[in-house]
Amino acid sequence: MEPADGLHLDGPTLLDLYRQLVRIRSFEEQVLELFTRAVAPGITHVSIGQEAVAAGVCAALRRDDYITSTHRGHGHCLAKGARPDRMFSELLGKADGYCHGKGGSMHIADPDTGNLGANAIVGGSLAIAAGAALSAKRRQTDQVVACFFGDGALNQGLLLESMNMAALWQLPVVYVCENNRYGEYTRMEDVTAGDVCQRGESLGVTSRAVDGMDVRDVYEQALSCVARAREGGGPSLLICETYRYLGHGMSDLDRPYRTREEEETWRERDAIASMATYLIEDGAATQAELDEIGDAISSEMAAAVAHAKAAPFPSPAEVTEHLYGT
């Protein structure tokens, strides 16, 4: 499980990465509970299984760097620094949610931590990321943008258009494809031709395949791409091979488009379990210490849910506020 180029990570960094993996998993498990019990309205898409991508990429960013996210974006939001209590409040439509309860699961944004927002449109944030990167370059702030998107966006014209401009103008953006193998219910191989890294390489964009189930590999590759962008080296593309353990959304329970054997094969590569094994074998932590981390995070999430449940709904008088137009 050594990172590709042998990057040495110290104990505190390794534990921070592990802690973030567990926080995202614990948050998403609470989300499942809230939606299953019809406590939270609307629909949601959890990222259980994909935690390493969000944790690894966001750990390579500064607080003032930007991210753009997807409909499956809770992990990105958390990893970039959002508070679980305000996130749960947003999911429950409460006034102290990040979007005053009006955005819900697929539209959480937190400008204070550089999160320019989740997006329910497949590939919808690609141009937003390029625009933010252009702004950073023109303002000479050395900020970097990480643009998360799924494999379903690989065939969107907006990806080519945005990446083309980013390459021409050498914009500081890291494109992060979370290739979880399925666009909703359709296998990636059935709709996507060729080597997907070549989508970036054809434009002169540095492109790399990453083990998206290994947070250390993600972190190492993201560090390299972020440093390159910050130094004026232009955009990069990371294809992170990962997997969502559950269905596309809350109604996708049976998952008839894939086998349970396939799912079990990917679960054997679980990012949290493999990271725990590495930490113990490397002497960076004991099982008791990891259990303590898990217990603390479980308590944090339970308190965050309790806060959201008790929080007030926004006043009906606010229905036309915080909007672009009415």
Taking only the tens of pLDDT, the chain with its 326 residues reads 344 444 568 889 999 999 999 999 999 999 999 999 999 998 999 999 999 999 999 999 999 999 999 999 999 999 999 999 999 999 999 999 999 999 999 999 999 999 999 999 999 999 999 999 999 999 999 999 999 999 999 999 999 999 999 999 999 999 999 999 999 999 999 999 999 999 999 999 999 999 999 999 999 999 999 999 999 999 999 999 999 999 999 999 999 999 999 999 999 999 999 999 999 999 999 999 999 999 999 999 999 999 999 999 999 988 888 877 65
**pLDDT at res. 6:** 46
**pLDDT at res. 8:** 61
Q: Which domains does the chain have, with CATH numbers?
A: 11-311 (3.40.50.970)
pTM of the model: 0.95
Dist. CA 19–CA 194, nearest whole Å: 36
**pLDDT at res. 319:** 85
- Find residue 66's DSSP bridge partners: 145
Contact criterion met (CB below 8 Å) for 71 and 45: yes
Strand-pair category, 145-150 with 206-211: unpaired
**pLDDT at res. 7:** 56
Report CA dihedral (19, 25, 31, 35) to the nearest 10 degrees: -170
Contact criterion met (CB below 8 Å) for 13 and 284: no
Three-class secondary structure assignment of the chain: CCCCCCCCCCHHHHHHHHHHHHHHHHHHHHHHHHHHCCCCCCCCCCCCCCHHHHHHHHHCCCCCCEEECCCCCHHHHHHCCCCHHHHHHHHCCCCCCCCCCCCCHHHCCEHHHCECCCCCCCCCCHHHHHHHHHHHHHHCCCCCEEEEEEHHHHHCHHHHHHHHHHHHCCCCEEEEEEECCEECCEEHHHCCCCCCCHHHHCCCCEEEEEECCCHHHHHHHHHHHHHHHHCCCCCEEEEEECCCCCCCCCCCCCCCCCCHHHHHHHHCCCHHHHHHHHHHHHCCCCHHHHHHHHHHHHHHHHHHHHHHHHCCCCCHHHCCCCCCCC
Dist. CA 65–CA 288, nearest whole Å: 35
Contact criterion met (CB below 8 Å) for 72 and 45: yes
Q: Hey, what amino acid is at 201?
A: E
Tokens matching residue 162: 């945005």
**pLDDT at res. 5:** 45
**pLDDT at res. 2:** 40
Contact criterion met (CB below 8 Å) for 108 and 117: yes
**pLDDT at res. 326:** 54
Beta-carbon-side half-sphere exposure of residue 37 (alpha carbons within 13 Å) = 9
Dist. CA 209–CA 13, nearest whole Å: 23
**pLDDT at res. 174:** 98
CA distance readout (Å), 203 to 161, 165, 166: 11, 10, 10
Sign of CA dihedral 312, 317, 319, 323: negative
